[in-house]
Each structure stands twice: as structure tokens, then as C-alpha cells.
A and B are shown apart, each in its own frame.
Chain A
């Protein structure tokens, strides 16, 4: 698999690997994918009182592009409001990382992970 420099960089030096406590009020956790499909992404966002994402962490079981896609979105969501984070599209991720066509699903999964994390955060703050 011929990967771009950016994918290799994120793969070799993944950003923001780790976990927050799921129970934390400000934390939204999204887990998408399935082991049988070859990728599982867990993305967590930590949202401040002002609705801005202060920090993000990820763990990914998957190929090089899955790891790179999730590493990239942890960087991108930081400093955005949760609504702005939802505007990140898989095509932007795929373009930034120059993903080959067979790996586009990794960028879709990363977009889904953001949505899932935001949904989890919103659920905690409903009503």
C-alpha cells in the first residue's frame, strides 16, 4: 500500500492517543466500526462550559489510514464548537491525507466517530 507522507506521519507519530473518563460531564465518547470489519475507532471530545472542544483523544484498531484519519480529526476538532465539529466532512479528511480510493471508508468512519462523540456529549446535556 503506497501511503502519503501525511498518513505515514500520523501513523508513526499519532497525535492525542489516550482516553478520558467516560463518566466526566464534559466528555463525549464515540465508538464506531467493528472488529470483523477490520476497524474500530474510539474518539473522545472534552467540551468546555462555553461549548468549545478543549481537548480530544482517540484509540483506533485498524489499518494505517484508519489510524491517520482518527489522529487527524483529534487535531481538527480542538478549538471548534461541537456544531462546527459536525461540519467536518469525510472528503476533507480524505483530501488532507490523500487517501487511496480503497481507504475512503476510513475517512467516513472518522466522520462518523465525530458525530457519535458529539451525540454522546449532547445526550449527557439534554434537558
Chain B
């Protein structure tokens, strides 16, 4: 039995795994103690549970639990890492580097640092969405103090060369932050091997609850930060505020499940993604956005030429997906990520991000393939552009009556 709309937006958020929800509930009602209460058993048991969860999060990324700081989510982790490190090391230099295709939580934080007097470089990506390591090296300056590159892109799912960037940063003594919100449970993360100083995590992209995340802060060599949230000195002074015990338990359980099941799950999800890709590539004039090889198994981002973005989204109401078209929101700007790949506005507008997950079935994929064939076909019947292309007209040579 299919349930509509079919959820294919796992990169936006995931449902909480029922096992995770089960694990969380007792910590709301029975075991409600404040983990910071040192004087009674309610506090002790909550503290123990929080530390167990910290071990689970650390274990997924092969880190020491002492290197994990709880936050409210990846946006806060990115803010704490980027502002915290830039402000701590500002005596060393004022230059910071990131990439044009980063999440807004990173880009807007960089903008804020520019207002505070830092100089920022926003690196271009190649046509496949990956950064060019030579261009990255060229962007480094003697006064560069911080580099921030996401592990996995949220729109196109490409995996950046984190190991290589880490080597370069470590060699130059530059703090390296990685936003790994989209990476946990999807790619192997080994922080004993990767030369990453700071890494942001989110629970809700990996079948945990919303409102909880973590920041990895390396101990050897030690990454230093200025706290952004002041208060009771929780989390070794890096992030004050009473710990959300039930959320933390949820994130710990979600990351434990990810560690134990990701290998099998990723193979299953990859097979579904490849089935979807094969089915959609049968449609003429479709373009996959982003590198297919250096890519997480659950993401597929495709542009359908000669159909307009908003009408396409209206046509595919039976599936819950994300679109590169911002037409439905206040701004008319299409996806800046796709634009950074060099896609023109029309192809950026008519793109769909399909993201598959733990509860996606083969039946849902087959329905989606069939739906896309029908709806794209219908919209192209309606499209004067498609008609012209069929007649052999090169649209680039047409003089449009722009309005």
C-alpha cells in the first residue's frame, strides 16, 4: 500500500526511527533529572545516560567522547565552530575560506564574520560540484586562520575531498571545520585518520530527533574556540545551557543504529537510487546535477529541460521532494548550488532533488519513475520550447521578446 505523498526528501529531514523514539520517552517522564544535578540520583542517572549517548556519537565518527559538545543542531554547531575559531585565532590572521555551495548556516556565518572585519574567500566548485584542490591551495594566504568545507552537499549529495583538504590545512596550521550534517550514516567518517579540527553533526538527518546536534572539537592537536553561548559553563564552558536529556538520548541511539546498520542500509538505498536513476534517464533531455561517483548513495538531483520549475512541482504533488526552484517561496532566485555548477537558470529551476532513505520501498521508486514519465511528458506537450527543439530550432539563437 502506497502512502501519499511518497516521502523522498530524506535530505531535508528523516522520520525518527521508532527504536529511537522508544529510547527517548522514559527520559521525558520517569527519568527527568537534570544531568547537571550532582546531589541526587535523578541527576546522576541523567548524567550517565548523556555520557553513554556521547560515546555512541563519538563511536560513529571514531572520536573520543570528550571531543563531543552537545548543541541544538548543525546550524548552531556551524556557528560555534566558525565564529568560535575565527574569534579565538583572530590575532593570527583575518582570512577565512569556504565554498560557494555550502549550506546557508555556513555562508551566513561567514557573512557575519565579514561584518566583524574578517576577509572571506568563497571558492568556486567545478562542474561536478567538487572543489578543485589546486584552486584551494592558491586561495590560501599566510593570514588564513580557518577553512570550512562541507562533507556532503545537501542539494547534490557530492562528497568533498575532506582527507586531502585536511592534510593541506594541518601542514599550514590552519583550523579546518567540516559540516557533516548530511554525512553521518552515509559515508565512513574516521576522525583518527581525517585531519579535521571541528566537525558539525545533526541528529534529525540520521533518524534522530530535531533540535539536537553536536560539535566535534579535536583535543590532539587541540582546537580552541570562543564560546558563543554563556551561562552555567556546561560542556566544559563551550556551550552553556541545560542539556536536553531526551534529545541527547535520541541522538545517541540514532547514531548507534547508524553505525551498526549503515553498511547494509547504504547498499539497499544505493540500489533504489540506481533504479530511480535508470528509470528517469529514459526521459529525454534530463541532466544529473553533481558527480555521480563521489556521491552519497541516497541522493539524486536531476534537471528536466524544457519544463518550468513551478509547474513541474505542481505536477508531482504525489511525491514529497525538494526543488531547485525557489519560485514557490518569496524569492525568484533558483538554487545557488546549481548555479555554482554552471547550470543556467532554466535548468536550475527545473531540478528535483530525490533523497531516499531507510523506509523507502521499491514500489515507491517505481511509482515515482512512472509519475515523472507521465508528468514530464504532459508538460512537454504543453511547452513551446520543447516543440521548437523537436523542430530542430536552437533555442540559443532565438530572439526572445523579454518582458
- Using a CB–CB distance below 8 Å, which chain A residues touch chain B? 1, 11, 14, 17, 19, 31-42, 59-64, 66-67, 105, 108-109, 112, 116
Does chain A have a CB within 8 A of B28? no
Within 8 Å of chain A (Cβ to Cβ): is B281? no
Q: Cβ of B314: which chain A residues have Cβ within 8 Å of it?
A: 1, 11, 63-64
Within 8 A of A (CB), among B370-403: 381-387, 395, 400-403
User: In the bound complex, do residue A31 and residue B381 qualify as a contact, i.e. CB atoms below 8 Å apart?
Assistant: no
B346, closest chain A residue (CB): A35
The answer to whether B328 touches A1 (Cβ under 8 A) is yes
Interface-located stretch among B47-55, B128-136, B295-303, B305-313:
B305-313
User: Which residue of B has the minimal Cβ distance to A62?
Assistant: B308
Q: Which one of A1, A38, A61, A105 has the greatest number of beta carbons of chain B within 10 Å?
A: A61
Give chain A residues whose Cβ lies under 8 Å from the Cβ of B328.
1
Interface residues of B in 291-346 (CB under 8 A from A): 306-311, 314, 327-328, 332, 344-346
Q: Which residue of B lies closest to A71 (CB)?
A: B382
Query: Within 8 Å of chain A (Cβ to Cβ): is B349?
Result: yes
Q: Is the CB of A1 within 8 A of B400?
A: no
Contact sample, A vs B, 20 pairs, CB 8 Å cutoff: A1-B314, A1-B328, A11-B311, A17-B381, A19-B387, A31-B384, A33-B400, A34-B403, A35-B346, A35-B395, A36-B400, A36-B402, A38-B327, A38-B345, A42-B384, A59-B387, A61-B382, A62-B308, A63-B310, A66-B311
* A116 CB to nearest B CB, Å: 7
Given A11-B311, A63-B310, the answer on whether A34 and B401 have CB atoms closer than 8 Å is yes
How large, as a class, is the contact surface on chain B? 20 to 34
- State the CA gap A52–B314 with chains docked (Å): 36
**A116: contacting residue among B344, B381, B401, CB under 8 A:** B401
In the bound complex, residues from chain A placing their C-beta under 8 Å from that of B327 are: 38, 63
CB-CB < 8 A to B387: which residues of A?
A: 19, 42, 59
- Which of chain B's residues have a CB closer than 8 A to the CB of A42? 384, 387
- Report the Cα distance A2→B344, complex, angstroms: 27
A17 to chain B, nearest CB (A): 6
- Digit string of B347-372 for contact with A (CB within 8 Å is 1, else 0)? 00100000000000000000000000
Q: Beyond the given A17-B381, A35-B385, A38-B332, please list 20 additional residue pairs across the A-B interface where CB-CB is below 8 A.
A: A1-B328, A11-B311, A11-B314, A31-B384, A33-B401, A35-B395, A36-B344, A36-B402, A37-B402, A38-B308, A38-B345, A38-B346, A40-B384, A59-B387, A60-B384, A61-B384, A61-B385, A67-B382, A105-B403, A112-B403
Q: How far is the CA of A112 from the CA of B327 in the complex (A)?
A: 22
Q: Is the CB of A38 within 8 A of B349?
A: yes
**B-side contacts of A32, CB under 8 Å:** 401, 403
With A32-B401, A34-B403, A116-B401 as contacts: A39 and B308 at CB distance below 8 Å: yes
Which single member of A19, A61, A66, A108 contacts B307 (CB below 8 Å)?
Answer: A61
List B contacts of A39 (CB < 8 A): 308
CA A108 to CA B314, docked complex, whole Å: 22
